[in-house]
Structure 1
Amino acid sequence: MNKYLKRYAQNFDYPLFFTVLLLSLFGLVMIYSSSMMVAIVLEDEAPDYFYARQVKNLIVAFLAFAVAAFFPYKHYANKNIMLLLTVVLVVLFTWVKVKGIGGELGSQSWIKVPGLGSFQPSEYAKLFIILYFSAAFYRKAQKYTFEKLQPTEIFYPILLWILVVACVAFETDLGAVIILCGIAISVVAASGIPFKTFWKFFGVLGAFGGIILAILFTLKGDILTDSRIGRIKSYINPFDYEDGSGHQVVNGYYAIGGGGLEGRGLGQSIQKLGYLPEPQTDFIMAIIMEELGIWGVLIVLGGLGFIIYRGFSIALRTKDPLARMIAAGIASWIGFQSFINLGGVTGLIPLTGVTLPFISYGGTSIIMLSLAMGILVNVSMFERVERKKTIS
């Protein structure tokens, strides 16, 4: 054990850890700044209500990071571990279906955990798909060469992915569905599977995805609620719907434009004073731009960009297929979620309600992301150890 800890300390990925820590602390500051008015007026709580809750979330997240960072990633390919992760997923989705709670858009995406608050199963599903797909393809690679691997030979991972996407879609968390699809494709692409076989696999996913959408629209006709249709319309020209579905986007624009290059100053946002709804969640980047200008943007984009780069860099360097798929999956997760959030804030794509990694307020998000970062740090450590062995 002492030998393992010594080797771990020598090969710990400090740049990745401190980048995650910096982003999380920066997000904590911005949550406090952006949520004061919401806490006082809407929640009838102290100004630091959301800040205090996020501090507790970060403590749990740090513990999750530490556990994942010390747990050897190779164990995720173990059948018993895979079964345990699957059982947890089934329990969470059953729970959210039976006793789930939702929001104004008709979603049923959260469950109440006694003593811990609310939990969003779709966040767990993102990490689950990364680990399960990586383990499944890794185990198949032990029996077959990827050149001979066909989509029919990985029927169960495909079936499980379909069920997960269907459950998340029925919640209905459409932003998470997009991320789950991107993660699955990224993990498969990183597996080393031949290009022709990859496209066959992609075709299978696309076909089943189309079936899921058809079933979803048939059985859950209320998925396109007035709110969601309004988001699509307001995406084209939000100023035509400024008093309705375009309200959040338009006030996000005002925040971004009002900050200019230098920003109004920390704590000096105008849009957070009741104009921009829930500024501490998916629209926190608009407040960052308004208060800190280009410097806030550089901190967020620089930190997220480094994490994504680090993940793909680890994936490209390692010779272990399992490590490569896990690292690529985690990096893709951060990349897709960041793009969807920032794209919605800036009007590049329609809003989906996806949070900004490490920055937005939210317990489930920061805890699951911290777990993923702990796993990535562990993968990085083992990759460094193997590289040193090769050099020596």
Structure 2
Amino acid sequence: MRKLKYLDYWLLVPYLGLSVLGIVMVYSASADIGTQNGGSPTSYLLKQTLYVILGLLVITFMMALNLQKLRDRNVLRILSIAAFVSLGGLLLVGQTINGAAGWYHLGPISLQPAEFVKFYLIVWLANAIANRQTEIETEGWYLSMRRPLLICIAILALIFVQPDIGGMTINACIVMVLALASGINWKWATGLMTGGILLVVGVIFPLLVKLSESGFAKDSYQLQRIVAFTNPFAHSQSVGQQLVNSYYALSNGGIFGVGWGNSIQKTGYLPEPNTDFIMAILAEELGLIVALIVIAVLFLMITRTVLIGVRSNSTYYGLICYGAATYLTVQTLFNLGGVLGLLPITGVTFPFISYGGSSTWTLALVMGLVLNISARQKYYRATH
């Protein structure tokens, strides 16, 4: 109860506001497809409302948790086993959605382990780095961190082979930022990242485009997304349909939108209107101004999270905040990049707005951690 007095409303209020807006937009975006699929127009609404309510319970639990328990060796071992078993099990019994066998269907809900791995990597890697601070200073980063690094590579490989390129990249960015924040030689790391980006942009991506256009990998869902990215209007009746109709939605909405519930593209033209492309529907119905406000609110949350990390006198708490901020930032950029045609579509949801239990609960886990850390900071300042 003591922590309630020190709640960070700069994080909690935006979280609640975006979550409520997400419920409203999921209902609007999904009512037609729910009916078309033979179900109720409120089916997705009810599920998303339940996901958000359970998310609030998760946040409450994470707020009340003694964060030192997350550093217990047995707890971390259980989390590690759960991460590897859940990801490995997908290779045998994973259900394929949007070209990636990354889901477990459990009755009326589906769970995506790659989402929960984001939380796992943040708390596990933050603890591994914090425990090795002396070793990093005396023996160097690579000698001290080689075992955690190998575990991270194994986790990323299991996500990659689903194949879930978007999920793998977001998790890789979390690992990368925590590594940069832990004392790695930034000049060497910057050079390595720059070389990697140039390799992807200058060699790998053009090669994948050629393979996709040649028809060599016409059955590859991932490579066909590259075809859609490079020339969507030439494939507007097939792989380019999502991006083309996303453009139509954005154009139709203009500055002020056509009004809530009045989207044309959600009525069967734009696939995945309630998940990957919900921001296109939001922009069509509520307009550019509201879309920019949503992005600005998310930017506020990210900035606040980084500030909490900077103010922390604990390496562990600081790294958790940097990991959380990276998660929010990269996920937002990937989703918006796909909606605007600036990046290939990766199947990444928009934080707090898109439909989905796994993403909603993972965001609750991570934001609960940050709220806990912020409350601890406020309590310390008030009592010292």
- TM-score calculated relative to the size of structure 2: 0.90
Alpha-carbon RMSD across the aligned residues, in angstroms, is: 2.4
Asked whether 1:111 is paired with 2:111, we answer no
Asked whether 1:40 is paired with 2:32, we answer no
> Structure 1 residues 188 and 125, CA, compared in 2 at 3 Å: closer, same or farther?
same
1:301 is aligned, of 295, 301, 316, to 295
Contact 2:96 2:103 in 1 (8 A): yes
CA drift at 1:192: 4.2
Unmatched 5+ stretches in structure 1: none
Contact 1:109 1:122 in 2 (8 A): yes
CA drift at 1:173: 0.7
2:82 is aligned, of 88, 99, 104, to 88
CA drift at 1:315: 1.1
Aligned position for 2:182: 191
> Structure 1 residues 200 and 76, CA, compared in 2 at 3 Å: closer, same or farther?
farther
> Structure 1 residues 272 and 69, CA, compared in 2 at 3 Å: closer, same or farther?
same
Aligned position for 2:281: 287
Contact 2:88 2:158 in 1 (8 A): no
1:198-347 equivalence runs, <5 A:
225-347=219-341
Aligned position for 1:123: 115
Question: What do residues 177-206 of structure 1 show as CA deviations (whole Å, max 9, x unaligned)?
Answer: 110111001112223445357569979x99
Aligned position for 2:156: 165
Aligned partner letter, 1:236 = T
Aligned partner letter, 1:157 = P
Aligned position for 1:349: 343
1:73 is aligned, of 41, 47, 67, to 67
Q: Number of matched residues? A: 369
Aligned position for 1:28: 23
Contact 1:38 1:278 in 2 (8 A): no
> Structure 1 residues 83 and 373, CA, compared in 2 at 3 Å: closer, same or farther?
same
SS in 1 for 2:266: coil
> Structure 1 residues 149 and 33, CA, compared in 2 at 3 Å: closer, same or farther?
same
Aligned position for 2:143: 152
Contact 1:39 1:49 in 2 (8 A): yes
CA drift at 1:103: 2.1
Aligned partner letter, 2:179 = V
CA drift at 1:76: 2.4
Aligned position for 2:213: none
Report the Cα distance in structure 2 between the residues aligned to 1:230 and 1:171, rounded to whole angstroms: 16
**Mean CA deviation greater in 131-140 or 116-125:** 116-125
> Structure 1 residues 9 and 378, CA, compared in 2 at 3 Å: closer, same or farther?
same
Taking only the aligned residue pairs, the percentage that are identical comes to 32
Aligned partner letter, 1:173 = D
> Structure 1 residues 125 and 157, CA, compared in 2 at 3 Å: closer, same or farther?
same
Report the Cα distance in structure 2 between the residues aligned to 1:330 and 1:268, rounded to whole angstroms: 35
Unmatched 5+ stretches in structure 2: 209-215
Report the Cα distance in structure 2 between the residues aligned to 1:340 and 1:14, rounded to whole angstroms: 27
Asked whether 1:136 is paired with 2:128, we answer yes
